[in-house]
Structure 1
Amino acid sequence: MGAIQGSIFASSKRLQMTDSIDLTVQSLQAHAVEHDHWCIAWSGGKDSSATLTLIMWLLDSGRIPRPKSLTVFYADTRMELPPLAIAARQIMDDLRERGIEVQVVRAPMDKRFFVYILGRGVPPPNNNTLRWCTRQIKVDPMSAAVEHMLGIAGKALMITGVRQGESAIRDARIEMSCSKDGAECGQGWYQQVLPNAKGVRGRIATLAPLLHWRVCHVWEWLKHWAPTAEFGDWSTAMIADAYGGDEAEEINARTGCVGCPLAQEDTALKTVLQNPKWAHLEPLLRLKPLYRELREPRHRIKKAGLDRLKDGSIAKNPQRMGPLTFEARMTGLDRVLAIQAEINAHGPSIDILDAEEESRIRELIALKTWPDGWDGDEPLADTVMDTVYQNGSVQPLLFGATA
């Protein structure tokens, strides 16, 4: 009888921490050394922070050769969990002391999260018809910053924190998901979008040197390796604590914006609040209910009938709901400022909405600003009226409008 053919992975051992690091070194030696200029896309979350600090140690220890230039791009959405934002500031200080160029990348003022909603009147994002946030406040600003850098350097390698776990070694199909192992919001977008973004196409390559890392190795690096003097003395333990400390791997909290409108639960924020040091941040839990409320019809206007788009075509939903009323915007602004003031009165201060952004919101409201395609004369979205279909036909109210 012939021998039974087993799985080619049946006898393989799980990667140990040193194995994961060795594979990262091999990846960088095989691909990164071909490029003179390196960029690191860093969000301040666990995967990109592990990538950044590990590469810095590999460079300092001589395990990989230094490129001619290295630029770290910090994606500052202005909406990060406060512990992560504080850790990012400390890491940026350390990077600059080492002579590393750090660029803080933010969206233009009128496209920042709160300014876009409360100033321009665009409703909070949702997972169905209006998911604008990740690209607008994270990916597009990063693309613009990289494009500007390429105007000087010519070509570059973009290093990202995309990570698929140990199975990535065995899987030829790399799925760029934002939900794998509590992945950071937007990390997969960098890998997909940047090489094809307008202005950078053909001039940038991407590499994810921690693609194969198990999540337990990420926590091990952040909590026990990177904070030691031997591996760089980085302020990464705070990052692990923000995800749940010793229970971080079990909690598997996905981090994104504070009160992320796209997530069902504020798991990461609730995890942070369990730490007495951050208990004063509890008012941030009121952001998600505020976003839900602002999407309600009573706070918005809608098209009354057939609506032609810029290209002359008729909108699929002729009576679609649109932007926020000025009253709703002012209510939202007051509540966000109240949340921020309450937090700052009881602990370390935050500025998810700073003075410059507040001033711009008030200016846009005073200027009677509406998003493109809206003029403010449209009826309130909760107004009862005849139904208009895309073909122009009208279904009158069965019993007429009631007072």
Structure 2
Amino acid sequence: MMSLQPSLFEGSKRLVYDEAIQMTLQSMQAYGPTHNHWVFAFSGGKDSTATLTVILHLIDAGRLQPPKSISVLYADTRMELPPLAIAAENLLNRLRARGIYCETVRAPMDQRFLVYMLGRGVPPPNNNTFRWCTRQIKVDPMTAALERRINELDGSILMITGVRQGESAIRDGRIAMSCGKDGAECGQGWYQQVVPEAKGIRGRIATLAPILHWRVCNVFDWLKIYARLEEYGAWDTSAVVDAYGGDEAQEINARTGCNGCPLAVKDLGLMTVIRVPYWSYISPLLGLKPLYRELRLPQNRLKKTGIDENGDVATAKNKQRMGPLTFEAREMALDRILSIQSEINLEALRLGRPKVDLLNDDEVARIRELIALKTWPNGWDGDEPTADTPLDAVFADGTIQPLLI
């Protein structure tokens, strides 16, 4: 008699613990009990949301023994797509209500994306030589928060992530080299005994990706259907699904990113969100990417002359490099961003929808304070010419070509 092959989720209300979720359960059963505390690195995206809610469901269903404590560290870059930011905060509030330690991790005020750019004058990041954003607003704050939390706990810690094969070809390459490390059997997740970014706490922490093997269809089946059912936790994951395209999320299989991400060619994540009728009112956010491109133009930035204060050729490799944003450009950008925020929130009020929070009052005040203090990045005085000013050309070998008039 030929046996039937069930799908990961089967039936209108019954979750089938078949191969994929069984491997997740086995992964947690293999490594969870060897650590006193579990810490979730939570981004608010589809994979980290699925990981967190599935594991809590397994605990609530009695299939997984809980640890001594659970902590959730949410990486809030202040640049997240509104549906993801709102869903993340709602989820954290629910977890706090059941006694789970939750921390919203943000970069320090002066290191936040818009404060750093408009207050200090650092131009928008690019993919070539100046990609400063990811580490500054996400990686470094999360690493610091993780170290603080570990120092508050006794015993060993398992950091649980939503890393999944197929999400990034580059990341998959790292997984291929690391999968099976530290004696892990195939299918037991990506387990490492050291978190590379947290070397100061080496020996006390390991990291595990228990849904490494899930396909995107598994993720969306969980988020769109089963996670919302009472017997699986009644998690409100609708806004997360909306961020990836709503009912068409699985077919689109979109990647999300920051609002108006300067590193992306197109604002695909945001464009996907606003195609969902409920979120169409946030479409003015599409004005952020053109603004960032405008800020990179020469007329909005300073430039080194290539000559030092003694009148000699500067020793810098890029002698006439473009640099920070002018005060006029920063004020222009601040006004435009606040206008975008105001336009959206007026419509949100009319429709009874969630507001967006691009810049709060404290951040606006700090930007204006830094501008008033005439703040420039290190190595810049503010008396350099704007980058569209015609200058004698200074070449890398030190030769000078006078400006041809």
How many angstroms does 1:246 deviate by?
Answer: 2.4
Are the counterparts in 2 of residues 111 and 137 from structure 1 also a CA contact under 8 Å? yes
The 1:54–1:298 alpha-carbon spacing in structure 2 relative to 1, beyond 3 Å, is same
How many angstroms does 1:275 deviate by?
Answer: 2.1
How many angstroms does 1:396 deviate by?
Answer: 2.4
Residue 97 of structure 1 corresponds to 97
Residue 146 of structure 2 corresponds to 146
Q: How does 1:43-122 map to 2 (within 5 A)?
A: 43-122=43-122
How many angstroms does 1:111 deviate by?
Answer: 0.5
Are the counterparts in 2 of residues 126 and 262 from structure 1 also a CA contact under 8 Å? yes
User: Of 371, 380, 383, which aligns to 2:377?
Assistant: 371
1-structure distance, mates of 2:140, 2:303: 29
How many angstroms does 1:30 deviate by?
Answer: 1.3
Task: Give the SS at the match of 1:260.
Answer: coil
How many angstroms does 1:238 deviate by?
Answer: 2.0
Matched, 1:349 2:355: yes
Task: Give the SS at the match of 1:174.
Answer: helix
**Aligned length, in residue pairs:** 367
The 1:341–1:193 alpha-carbon spacing in structure 2 relative to 1, beyond 3 Å, is farther
Deviations 1:260-285 (A, max 9, x none): 11111111211211222211101100
TM-score, L = length of structure 1: 0.86
Are the counterparts in 2 of residues 195 and 206 from structure 1 also a CA contact under 8 Å? no
Matched, 1:128 2:128: yes
Residue 164 of structure 2 corresponds to 163
1-structure distance, mates of 2:29, 2:87: 29
2-structure distance, mates of 1:263, 1:386: 34
Matched, 1:390 2:391: no
Residue 295 of structure 1 corresponds to 296
Q: Mark the runs of 5 or more structure 1 residues left unpaired by the alignment.
A: 1-12, 177-190
Deviations 1:153-178 (A, max 9, x none): 2542111111005999xx996269xx
TM-score, L = length of structure 2: 0.85
Residue 188 of structure 2 corresponds to none
Are the counterparts in 1 of residues 274 and 282 from structure 2 also a CA contact under 8 Å? yes
Letter of the 1:215 partner, please give it.
V
How many angstroms does 1:198 deviate by?
Answer: 4.8
Q: Mark the runs of 5 or more structure 2 residues left unpaired by the alignment.
A: 10-17, 178-191, 349-353
Deviations 1:251-308 (A, max 9, x none): 1211111111111111121121122221110110000000000011110001111579
The 1:173–1:261 alpha-carbon spacing in structure 2 relative to 1, beyond 3 Å, is closer
2-structure distance, mates of 1:163, 1:284: 29
Deviating more after overlay: 374-383 vs 149-158: 149-158
Deviating more after overlay: 80-89 vs 363-372: 80-89
The 1:62–1:199 alpha-carbon spacing in structure 2 relative to 1, beyond 3 Å, is same
Task: Give the SS at the match of 1:264.
Answer: coil
1-structure distance, mates of 2:402, 2:199: 47
How many angstroms does 1:194 deviate by?
Answer: 4.5
1-structure distance, mates of 2:364, 2:121: 14
2-structure distance, mates of 1:223, 1:306: 61
The 1:172–1:130 alpha-carbon spacing in structure 2 relative to 1, beyond 3 Å, is closer
Deviations 1:211-262 (A, max 9, x none): 0000000000001111111111111122112211221122121111111111
CA RMSD of aligned residues (A): 2.5
Residue 181 of structure 2 corresponds to none
Deviations 1:313-354 (A, max 9, x none): 943211111100000000000000000000011013211100
Matched, 1:286 2:287: yes
Task: Give the SS at the match of 2:260.
Answer: coil
Are the counterparts in 2 of residues 84 and 242 from structure 1 also a CA contact under 8 Å? yes
Deviations 1:77-134 (A, max 9, x none): 1111111111112111111122111000000000101101100100111111111111
1-structure distance, mates of 2:59, 2:308: 57
